[in-house]
Amino acid sequence: MGSTTADFETRLFIDGKYVQGKGSPKVTCYNPTDGSVVSDNVHVASVQDVDDAVAAARAAFPGWASTAPLAKSKLLNKIADLIEEQAGLFARLESLCSGKPYKQTIVYEAPMAANIFRYYAGYTDKLEGESLPPDNGFLRIIQKVPIGVCAAINAFNGGIIMVSMKVAPALAAGNTIVIKGSEKSPLAVLAFGKLVEQAGFPPGTINLITGGPETGSLLASHMDIDKIAFTGSVGVGKKVAQAAAASNLKRVTLELGGKSPSIVFPDANLDVATQWCVQGIVGNSGQACIASSRVYVHRDIKEKFVDRMKQALDGTKGLMGKDVFAESTQLGPLVDRAHYERVSSFVESGKQEATIVTGGENPHGQGCWITPALFIDPKPDAKIYKEEIFGPVVVVSEFTDEAEVIKRANATEFGLSGAVFSQDINRAIRVAGQIHSGAVCINCCTMFDHNVAFGGMKQSGWGRELGKHGIMGYTEPKTLYVNMTY
């Protein structure tokens, strides 16, 4: 396989087999816990590789689209079983490449990925159309047909869940797919090819490639890709949409960034609010698009809440063991040196823009670790308050008035998620209804599940993934007119 460690796959998976990438130079992946090289030989998809992958997906499309629904379901269910069986492989590769605690993949990510496959396996025979009564002698039938060859570009943080979010609905709806993992965490994505082989998918239905921005833009501008599903930052999402429009107007869905607000009212259960707000910013070491990174707390309870947040965040330092494979390690480092430098610079500049209460240090003096940082009272235009940091940095502001806090919560380009903490359910529902985001959680935060729509308003995205809305994004309505008088 030509990697520094020979027991994982570093090649591309195209047309049902692993092949050498023709792109150069190869990608090097570093272990963010200590900076050691995991592999210096991750293959990069070149123009030719991308064309090969798209051609394979195109050739496979008619056969897959016309495969009986329940035969599709059987294969999708098989993949779900294999993900569960081989969760340890994915956990290991994610831990090596992105520093995710091993347990996180075993306990949460692999089961969630399997759920996504099972959910969409059940959808293959439920893509119902419509028919309208004959009118003027014509019967009209609207079918939900597959779009064709889809491509997906993934962010570094989603691992096997993000692969499932794209592959499962695309295939359940009858499409074929080329999927590019992030160059920062490519190994688990490439390992997925083994499962595709073992499950027995027809060659070309699922193709897995990797590479950086150049490979991504080859997909976005490709003339024979019919839809692109992108997950990543707002800036890159806009480039993908532009490239899609400038090439063949391929369909686009975008899952982009966030700066999600949580509003804590004075009648909230403080234990519940603290627990969720802490989990909402330390989960995946803050590298979550739905991270609860802006908290608004009512002035009457601010002091108490901030004390509790500090205590709870300080408590999480004990979960940041140096060994991400250890059972007790629940929080890992940031994904790589560049991201660590970026988050650290937000922490430094934040000290001039707000008051730091705790955190923002490297607990191990090596690698890309950073302790959860709590800032309070930011200036209104503070960078840490306005921009997505994508690390464990939470900013707490106080409020006094419901209408004012809703306005402040909505004063952002993002609209991915949000939360309201209150024991007055009428208030909670009223406020949730006024937060402009794809999801709002009540007395919880950062929720995300396989069977409900996920995605953003405003610049947090276009379209939705997961649930029924997710699979609809992989179909096109097609109308048949039948002349009943003939």
State residue 374 phi and psi, 5-degree precision: -115, 120
Query: Which of 158, 159, 169, 283 forms a contact with ligand NAD (CB under 6 A)?
Result: 158
Cα four-point dihedral sign 295, 298, 301, 302: positive
CB of 218 to ligand NAD, least distance (A): 8
CB of 354 to ligand NAD, least distance (A): 21
Q: Is 390 in the site for ligand NAD (CB under 6 A)?
A: yes
- Pairing mode, if any, of strands 37-44 and 23-30? antiparallel
From the CB of residue 415, how many other CB atoms can be counted at a distance below 10 Å?
Answer: 23
Query: Which of 146, 257, 359, 470 forms a contact with ligand NAD (CB under 6 A)?
Result: 257
Q: Is 182 in the site for ligand NAD (CB under 6 A)?
A: yes
When the beta carbons of 238 and 407 are compared against ligand NAD, the nearer one is 238
From the CB of residue 110, how many other CB atoms can be counted at a distance below 10 Å?
Answer: 26
CB of 240 to ligand NAD, least distance (A): 5
Which region, judged by CB under 6 A, interacts with ligand NAD, from 81-89, 148-156, 342-350, 373-381? 148-156
Whole-number Cα distances in Å, 157 to 189, 237, 328, 344? 12, 16, 21, 18
387 tagged catalytic: no
Q: Is 216 in the site for ligand NAD (CB under 6 A)?
A: yes
Question: x-or-dash pattern for ligand NAD, window 268-297, by CB under 6 A?
Answer: ---------------------x--------
Question: What 3-state class would DSSP assign to 62?
Answer: helix
Q: How many amino acids of this chain bind ligand NAD (CB under 6 A)?
A: 30
Cα separation, 197 vs 50, in Å, equals 20
Which one-letter DSSP state was computed for residue 108? Answer: I
Q: Is 78 in the site for ligand NAD (CB under 6 A)?
A: no
Q: Is 462 in the site for ligand NAD (CB under 6 A)?
A: no
Find the DSSP H helices in 99-182. Answer: 102-104, 110-121, 159-172
Cα four-point dihedral sign 287, 291, 292, 294: positive
Whole-number Cα distances in Å, 108 to 83, 160, 209, 357, 446? 12, 11, 25, 31, 14
Query: Which of 143, 233, 279, 410 forms a contact with ligand NAD (CB under 6 A)?
Result: 233
Q: Is 446 in the site for ligand NAD (CB under 6 A)?
A: no
Q: Give me the catalytic one of 94, 109, 255, 388.
A: 255
Q: What is the dihedral of CA 199, 96, 189, 461, to 10 degrees?
A: 130
Tokens standing for 454?
Answer: 């996920």
Query: Which of 61, 156, 305, 340 forms a contact with ligand NAD (CB under 6 A)?
Result: 156
Q: Is 236 in the site for ligand NAD (CB under 6 A)?
A: yes
CB of 330 to ligand NAD, least distance (A): 20
Active site members: 255
Residues found near ligand NAD in the complex (CB under 6 A): 153-158, 180, 182-183, 212-213, 216-217, 220, 231-233, 236, 239-240, 255-258, 289, 388, 390, 416, 456, 461
